[in-house]
């Protein structure tokens, strides 16, 4: 169940328009690497410490591969890729790394997660 709360927003294209309320998903807690290691160890014969070591290595290597400009595909989980926001240039020749304003991470969910997103249920919270 995904928790929702109402969020009031103005229209940036029309500052005179009345504000509207939109549904915003809010977290109901945090699951960290230790919790994931605990959950995995309970579902397998692998000890929690070993699961944690593998998850930490996975995290390190994903970061390293993304830093090398690679796309990281984790099977049916999904794909990670670095994206950038940049200033515009008038010509192709003027495009350079100096135009980059910031970097972000793109995640494209795999098949199983796409299915999950279609079947979620929601609950409005205060």
Span 25-47, average pLDDT: 95
Mean pLDDT score, 44-67: 97
| pLDDT, tens digit (0-9, with 9 covering 90-100), for 69-122 | 999 999 989 999 999 999 999 999 999 999 999 999 999 999 989 999 999 999
**Confidence at 58, pLDDT banded by 50, 70, 90:** very high
Structure-token match 């328009």, residue found: 17
Q: What does the pLDDT average to over 15-23?
A: 93
d(CA 20, CA 87): 31
Distance CA 80, CA 74 (A): 8
- For the chain, what is the mean pLDDT? 95
4's CB contacts (< 8 A; 6+ apart) are 23, 24, 25, 26, 122, 123, 124, 125
pLDDT at residue number 12: 87
SS3 state of residue 99: helix
pTM: 0.79
**pLDDT reported for residue 4:** 96
Please, which pLDDT band fits residue 126 given cuts at 50, 70 and 90? confident
């Amino acid at each position: 169940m995904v928790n929702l709360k109402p969020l009031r927003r103005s229209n940036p294209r029309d500052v005179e328009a009345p504000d509207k309320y939109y549904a915003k998903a809010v977290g109901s807690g945090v699951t960290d690497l230790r919790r994931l290691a605990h959950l995995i160890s309970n579902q397998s014969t692998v000890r929690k410490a070993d699961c944690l070591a593998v998850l930490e290595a996975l995290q390190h290597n994903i970061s390293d591969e993304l830093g090398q400009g690679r796309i990281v595909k984790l099977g049916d989980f999904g794909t990670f890729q670095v994206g950038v926001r940049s200033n515009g240039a008038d010509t192709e020749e003027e495009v350079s790394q100096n135009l980059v304003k910031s970097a972000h991470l793109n995640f494209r969910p795999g098949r199983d997660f796409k299915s999950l997103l279609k079947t979620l249920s929601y609950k409005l919270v205060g």
